[in-house]
Amino acid sequence: MSTATMTLKLKIWRQADNTSKGSMKEYDLPGVSPDMSFLEMLDLLNENLVNSGNDPVAFDHDCREGICGMCSLMINGEAHGPQKLTTTCQLHMRSFKDGDTVVIEPFRAKAFPVHKDLMVDRSAFDEIIAAGGFISMNAGNAPDGNAIPIGKETADLAMDAAACIGCGACVASCENASAMLFTSAKLSQLALLPQGKAEAAERAQKMVKKMDELGFGNCTNAAECEASCPKGIELSNIARMNREFFKSSLSK
Amino acid sequence: MASNTCSTGICGYLCSSIGKKQLMGVTAFLLIGFLKTHLLGNLLILGGRDLFNDYAHKLISLGNILIVAEVILLAIFLIHLFLAIALVWQNKKARPVKYHSKKRTGRGATFASDTMPYTGVVILVFIVLHLLNFKYGTYYEYELNGVIVRDLYQTVIEYFSNPLYTAWYVIAMIVMGIHLSHGVQSAFQSVGFRHARYTPIIKKIGCALSAGLTIGFSALSIYGYYISTIN
Ligand code: SF4
Ligand code: FES
């Protein structure tokens, strides 16, 4: 464990609640260890704030293991910060230097309203899933895992798409606040597999319509989403969704 | 089904984000097709006054067929234009509160992709002026092989005799090249074509095509200026 600690200048978006106007506030934070995770650094700040009788900074987090998709944050203008394929909770303070200014903002989109400070409401994603991101089947005993043979390549593609943790970094980093990477991943993980094919057309229609309705922007194929995605979800999923949607428009 | 009247069929498709993107891509392909033909036709300027005017005259002599073709081209262009306006408008609305600081990751967006609406506007202005200056520009006539034909060659050379016009033309072509360098690969992605092996090739071809069109049209304008100086 290294002992040398850093002092950071933090610029953080503070907003009391959904309806009030927010602004950027500055904090000096000494005693930051390079071994801390980014969220532990915020915990330290909050401890100081609470001890001095101030309101702590609200931010989203849960697993702190990079698997739940709950953490967010625009860090110095990049979703989940400067490190590739890394969620905010898995980002460590060794990515920063003593004296650095760190700008921390919430993920911004019309469809992601700010609850408080850095906390945003991402339930728009749940609505997209509820619109069609599922398969219909009779519950009961689990079917035999090997009853339906699926080629290795297809299984891999579906698994890659299923790696999406629904964090919303794709929306946050997109110039147009488009949700196409998320939606296409959730659509692909089902459309690729035989179990998902039966409802593929209806699913494509419903998920895309819901996504549009919620006020996400339109994709301009700039690929900032792919570059910011902590799970490496690829643009080929959006191409697949484009095909699936076109096909389903012909049949629906 | 949803109560929205615009939710199914062709109307639902066209109202959707993906439908608009795909139509944007298809019109882009058609417009690029036109640009290539236009450049090939213009290359005849290198063959001199008679060859170029003969080609122009043949086109004009098509009469109604040419008018139909022009109307179709205009329609394609207007669809591309109005879809762009609609998409940009929706995209602006999708993020009402801007970031205090926002960085390009360097692994996705490029200068070209970020500036599509702006380069598009420059191209629009260029096209309007271009039509006014050439198609509807000064009208000269002369006799070619016993027929009175329009001397479009004269109109072109006269225009480019002004170095400022030549410079503007070259700048506009560079802007068009930037627009296309993102546009070509983007159109492929929108219609759903993406492939681990072919997409990198498509990107290269897109850039080469953009550069080719920019260089081709620019070179002809500079050639026009050169001809005007030696006459
Ligand atoms: S696609 Fe990537 S960035 Fe978008 S929600 Fe899923 S994991 Fe997050
Ligand atoms: S807190 Fe669960 S992914 Fe970051």
> Which CATH number does the domain housing residue B63 bear?
1.20.1300.10
In a domain, B33, yes or no: yes
Q: Tell me the nearest-neighbour CA distance from B185 into chain A, angstroms.
A: 9
The pLDDT, as a whole number, for residue A2 is: 54
Q: How far is CA A77 from CA A39, A148, B101, B181, in A?
A: 17, 45, 5, 26
Q: Which atom of ligand 1 has the smallest separation from the CA of A179?
A: 4
Query: A112 C-alpha to center of ligand 2: Å?
Result: 18
Q: Is A233 helix (H, G, I), strand (E, B) or coil?
A: coil
**Cα(B146)–Cα(B163) distance, integer angstroms:** 34
Percentage of chain A modeled with pLDDT above 70: 98
Question: How many domains would you assign to chain B?
Answer: 1
Does ligand 1 lie within 6 Å of residue A238's CB atom? no
**Cα(A141)–Cα(A150) distance, integer angstroms:** 21
Question: Each residue of B10-49: pLDDT tens digit?
Answer: 889 999 999 999 999 999 999 999 999 999 999 999 999 9
Q: Which residue's alpha carbon is nearest to atom 1 within ligand 1?
A: A182
In a domain, B102, yes or no: no
Best mutation site among A43, A71, A73, A120 for ligand 2, i.e. most ligand atoms within 8 A of its Cβ? A71
Nearest CA in chain A to B112: A222
Question: Each residue of A175-213: pLDDT tens digit?
Answer: 999 999 999 999 999 999 999 999 999 999 999 999 999
Contact A235, B194 (CB under 8 A): yes
Which residue has tokens 């005799």?
A: B161
Q: Does A101 touch chain B (CB under 8 A)?
A: no
Joined tokens for residue A119? 């906390």
Joined tokens for residue B108? 């996705």
Which string of b and e fits A90-104 if b means at least 16 CB within 10 Å? bbbbebbeeeeebbb
In a domain, B82, yes or no: yes
The pLDDT, as a whole number, for residue A137 is: 85
Q: Whole domain around residue B146: which residue ranges?
A: 21-92+114-230
Length of chain A measured in residues? 252
Q: Tell me the nearest-neighbour CA distance from A221 into chain B, angstroms.
A: 6
Contact B100, A11 (CB under 8 A): yes
pLDDT band at residue B2 using 50, 70 and 90 as cut-offs: very low
Nearest CA in chain B to A174: B109
Q: Do B194 and A235 touch (CB under 8 A)?
A: yes
The pLDDT, as a whole number, for residue B1 is: 35
In a domain, B14, yes or no: no
ipTM for the complex shown? 0.93
Amino acid, res. A189: Q
Does residue B72 have a pLDDT over 60?
yes
Contact A14, A57 (CB under 8 A): yes
In a domain, B108, yes or no: no
In a domain, B127, yes or no: yes
Contact A170, A228 (CB under 8 A): yes
pLDDT band at residue A138 using 50, 70 and 90 as cut-offs: confident
Q: Taking residues B195-204, what's their average pLDDT? A: 95
pLDDT band at residue A139 using 50, 70 and 90 as cut-offs: confident
Q: Does A93 touch chain B (CB under 8 A)?
A: no
Q: Does A155 touch chain B (CB under 8 A)?
A: no
In a domain, B185, yes or no: yes
Structural domains for chain A: 6-46+56-115 (3.10.20.30), 122-251 (1.10.1060.10)
The pLDDT, as a whole number, for residue A136 is: 93
**Cα(A249)–Cα(B123) distance, integer angstroms:** 32
User: Which ligand sits closest to the CA of A167?
Assistant: 1
Does residue B3 have a pLDDT over 50?
no
Q: How far is CA B83 from CA A111, A217, B5, B9, B34, in A?
A: 22, 14, 20, 19, 19
In a domain, B10, yes or no: no
Phi/psi class of residue A64: alpha, beta or left (left: φ > 0; alpha: ψ in -120 to 50)? left
